[in-house]
Structure 1
Amino acid sequence: MTSLETPVAAAAADLQDERLVTPQGFADSIRAAIRRAKGGDLGMLPVVAGIVVIWTIFQALNQTFLSSTNLVNLAFDMVSLGVIALGIVCVLLVGQIDLSVGSVSGVAAATTGVVMVRHEQSLGLTILAAVGAGAAIGWLYGQVLNRFGVPSFVVTLGGLLGFLGTQLWLLRGENAINLPYDSGLVKFAQLWFVPDALAYAFAVAAAGGFLATGWIRARSRRAAGLSSVSLQWLSVQALLLAAGLLFAVYYLNRTRGVPWMFMLFVALVLIVHYVFTKTKFGRALYAVGGNAEAARRAGINVKAVYTSAFIMCSTLAALGGVLAAARLAAANQSTGTADVNLNAIAAAVIGGTSLFGGRGSAFAALLGVLVIQSISSGLTLLNLDSSYRFIITGAVLLVAVALDSAARRSRQAHGRG
């Protein structure tokens, strides 16, 4: 080895390509973010900026918007739609679509009422029946798509109509089946809050978990000869996260506190995020969504990935239906209808999931549904009818898709795919 080759060999392997370098400090992180933005990788920046703008406008128009009471209500209201949107992220990642998630959630809600009230079964069996029905529907979609080649748009459009009829059939002509107010399911969705001390402990644990996983990843990268984030910058990030979470808990605890229902949603987001980023199946989802033929030639079972994505989507849609019924303490004919389908898809796209497949994250559902429910909550406080909500949500969705398309062209121009 010559003297000219030594410096390169001694440097971290990924320092030879700036696109692969891990930012090691605050300045490096800013430069990396600017570089990614120029290359068309906007990440979550647009939706976070959108939330700040929306909250600022509504707070200026009505001082109640950012009150602790309204934010607790917002945390409750975003859960059922957010869980459904989380399922939509799964199918969008593989370049498919599911237009029937609202109807599937309605079937799950009706199943909840029938099993719990009419047949007087236990809560565990009720949830298992409802969520199991959703998983079966997702498996059916996968089989039709894989065996007959029917586009997912058509398959799920048929499912939208068919399962809406199934929902009405389960209710047997009744407008609603009321769930017992003293049941654990209804209390969970309306009355149960995380104890103050435990909520603070969760906030600290989340920051500690971020620090621990970041340190483990940095050590692994250094052992492999790659660049890694510095411990100092990682500690600063963890402290900022802890401060933000502790303040959020303190603010919500000024009234009722942090709902257990919202904690369930956050837990689901973290679990799905882990599946997407840390498992072989998650990598297969992104690969199939990026280029299905290339994924097939790489040895990935594309048909199995499609089926799994639809099962995840329908299962989460069914769980969202159960939570919606619990929140209303009733399973009725309107559960899952109206704008649930479009809002769930809009939430996933607004949160940063690409309609073209291969790009997105579990946090897209959380951020996207926060945008939609913030708009709904703000307009309600201003005593404006739903027409304004549809117009504003549609405009935000159009902007999100336009940004996604522009970013996609920029990534292709910069050779980032």
Structure 2
Amino acid sequence: MTTETLPERSTSESAIGVHVKGYVERVRGGELGALPAVFGLVVLCVVFSVLRPAFLSPVNFANLFTQGAAVTVIAMGLIFVLLLGEIDLSAGFASGVCAAVLAVLLTNEGWPWYAAVGASMLTGAIIGTVLGTLVAKLGIPSFVVTLAAFLAFQGVLLLLVKGGTNISIRDETILAIANNNVPPVVSWVAVIAGVAAYAAIQFVKARRRSARGLVADPLILIIFRVAALAVIAGVAVYVLNLERSRNELIVSLKGVPIVVPVIVVLLLVWTFVLHRTRYGRHVYAVGGNAEASRRAGINVDGIRISAFVICSFMASIGGIIAASRANSVDPNTGGSDVLLFAVGAAVIGGTSLFGGKGRALDAVLGGAVVAVIQNGMGLMGYSAGVKYVVTGSVLLLAAGVDALSRKRAAATGRR
């Protein structure tokens, strides 16, 4: 019995050793991925938890999700543009314009919520089509096009809200997006189903690779990933399901905020698009080398236009979330620091400003870092000026790490 199990154990250990060695070599070669963002997120959470124990309270934990939701969603769309080596400076105010369309149709015109949401998303798609066409077909640099749109959309937003009017949103469905919670039982069912689905996908993927004679992840590594996901998701749901109300007899506040599953669904959709479809492979190809992609028969202009469409479409969803959280739309919706934080979230999460490298997950990780910085420093009583300085420093550090990793990758032949 012992002689039968030892070879299996040694084989498993050698397979893990190969994967660990390969990962270390990739990191040393400049392929850092999300490692800096994860490390920074852990450090920030530990520091703020020590300095302000209230940081880990259920109330603040839930607030972190709603606080960073709009920026995370906008950053998820920006990643498609950044993957091509382009930039969209208008995404912030584009979200504000789409939110204003939603508010005007809901409050002033009396449209049902689903029609208003559809019109808002359609507005985002039209904005992206116009911007992408100007960049791809006319050859105007994306910086110039989106800078002009940044200025123009401020004016459009002012016109929609009639100068300085604050348009209140009273539709319960829209308000629930960023203000209501998923029932605790439903939260647990969703987590269990999600972890089970992830485990099934991992095992099926490994079996298919083995059947084709390809190198598959060892069983123990798959088990570790599934267990890690189960622990992280389980702890998060447990904390969010705790009572957060000061007086639960008046109102009960517990459960996962509705905006969380919205972000998870968007993350899964865009991760699938980027990594499991021909379109996603074309996006990476164009971002890596547009001329080579054109010679390979890829519709480069179409890819560029579609990336801006996705970016503005996601900005519309971010605007809807922001309007839901604020219960209104005003001239500042989508303005101020929204764009800066969205771009910062994408870059901090690991997306390269030079194109060709990035994932939808980067927006979530980077958005979490930005939200933690803003939230933690707010709890410590720092002014907005200090928050901007710290966030800007983290963004500069992330861009520096990206530049150095690219140089390292080029030097080692991994670029």
Q: TM-score, normalised by structure 1?
A: 0.92
Q: Report whether the alignment pairs 1:324 with 2:327.
A: no
Q: Following the alignment from structure 1 to structure 2, what is the Cα–Cα distance between the partners of residues 29 and 75?
A: 33
Match of 1:257 among 255, 258, 261: 255
Q: What residue is the counterpart of 2:57 in the other structure? A: 67
Aligned AA (1:189)? A
Q: What residue is the counterpart of 1:12 in the other structure? A: none
Q: Following the alignment from structure 1 to structure 2, what is the Cα–Cα distance between the partners of residues 311 and 188?
A: 23
Deviations 1:358-400 (A, max 9, x none): 0010000000010011011011111111101100001100110
Conserved? CA contact 1:196–1:253, under 8 Å:
yes
Deviations 1:344-365 (A, max 9, x none): 1010000000000000100000
Deviations 1:318-348 (A, max 9, x none): 1111110111110101101111111110100
Q: Following the alignment from structure 1 to structure 2, what is the Cα–Cα distance between the partners of residues 24 and 353?
A: 32
Q: What residue is the counterpart of 2:346 in the other structure? A: 348
Q: What residue is the counterpart of 2:185 in the other structure? A: 197
Show the 5 A alignment for 1:30-41: 30-41=20-31
SS at match of 2:381: coil
Aligned AA (1:379)? M
Q: What residue is the counterpart of 1:279 in the other structure? A: 277
Q: What residue is the counterpart of 1:17 in the other structure? A: none
Q: Report whether the alignment pairs 1:269 with 2:267.
A: yes
Q: What residue is the counterpart of 1:375 in the other structure? A: 373
Conserved? CA contact 1:206–1:242, under 8 Å:
no
RMSD: 1.5
Conserved? CA contact 1:23–1:32, under 8 Å:
no
Q: Following the alignment from structure 2 to structure 1, what is the Cα–Cα distance between the partners of residues 293 and 263?
A: 31
Deviations 1:154-186 (A, max 9, x none): 000000011110010111124310111x52111
1:416/1:385 Cα in 2 relative to 1: closer, same or farther (>3 Å)? same
Conserved? CA contact 2:168–2:327, under 8 Å:
yes
Q: Following the alignment from structure 1 to structure 2, what is the Cα–Cα distance between the partners of residues 365 and 24?
A: 34
Aligned AA (1:116)? L
Q: What residue is the counterpart of 1:83 in the other structure? A: 73
Conserved? CA contact 2:16–2:218, under 8 Å:
no
Conserved? CA contact 1:93–1:286, under 8 Å:
yes
Deviations 1:228-259 (A, max 9, x none): 11234312321232122112111111132211
Q: What residue is the counterpart of 2:216 in the other structure? A: 228
Q: Following the alignment from structure 2 to structure 1, what is the Cα–Cα distance between the partners of residues 20 and 186?
A: 35
Q: Report whether the alignment pairs 1:163 with 2:153.
A: yes
Q: Deviation at 1:24?
A: 7.7
Q: Following the alignment from structure 2 to structure 1, what is the Cα–Cα distance between the partners of residues 53 and 16?
A: 35
Deviations 1:216-237 (A, max 9, x none): 2112212221111123431232
Conserved? CA contact 1:24–1:233, under 8 Å:
no
Unaligned runs of at least 5 residues, structure 2: 1-11, 244-253
Q: What residue is the counterpart of 1:8 in the other structure? A: none
Q: What residue is the counterpart of 2:98 in the other structure? A: 108
Q: Following the alignment from structure 2 to structure 1, what is the Cα–Cα distance between the partners of residues 294 and 365?
A: 32
Match of 1:214 among 190, 202, 209: 202
Q: Following the alignment from structure 1 to structure 2, what is the Cα–Cα distance between the partners of residues 324 and 160?
A: 18
1:25/1:257 Cα in 2 relative to 1: closer, same or farther (>3 Å)? farther
Q: What residue is the counterpart of 2:411 in the other structure? A: 413
Conserved? CA contact 1:24–1:228, under 8 Å:
no
Aligned AA (1:320)? G
Q: Following the alignment from structure 1 to structure 2, what is the Cα–Cα distance between the partners of residues 301 and 398?
A: 34
Conserved? CA contact 2:184–2:241, under 8 Å:
yes
1:25/1:248 Cα in 2 relative to 1: closer, same or farther (>3 Å)? farther
Unaligned runs of at least 5 residues, structure 1: 1-21
Match of 1:396 among 394, 404, 413: 394
Q: What residue is the counterpart of 1:297 in the other structure? A: 295
Q: Report whether the alignment pairs 1:128 with 2:118.
A: yes
1:235/1:383 Cα in 2 relative to 1: closer, same or farther (>3 Å)? same
Q: What residue is the counterpart of 1:4 in the other structure? A: none
1:24/1:78 Cα in 2 relative to 1: closer, same or farther (>3 Å)? farther
Aligned AA (1:405)? A
Q: Following the alignment from structure 1 to structure 2, what is the Cα–Cα distance between the partners of residues 345 and 380?
A: 21
Q: Report whether the alignment pairs 1:187 with 2:176.
A: yes
Q: TM-score, normalised by structure 2?
A: 0.92
Q: Following the alignment from structure 2 to structure 1, what is the Cα–Cα distance between the partners of residues 321 and 221?
A: 39
Q: What residue is the counterpart of 1:9 in the other structure? A: none
Aligned AA (2:141)? P
Q: What residue is the counterpart of 2:363 in the other structure? A: 365
SS at match of 1:172: coil
Q: Structure 1 stretch 331-340 or stretch 30-39: which is displaced more?
A: 30-39
Q: What residue is the counterpart of 2:5 in the other structure? A: none
Aligned AA (1:225)? G
Match of 1:237 among 206, 225, 237: 225
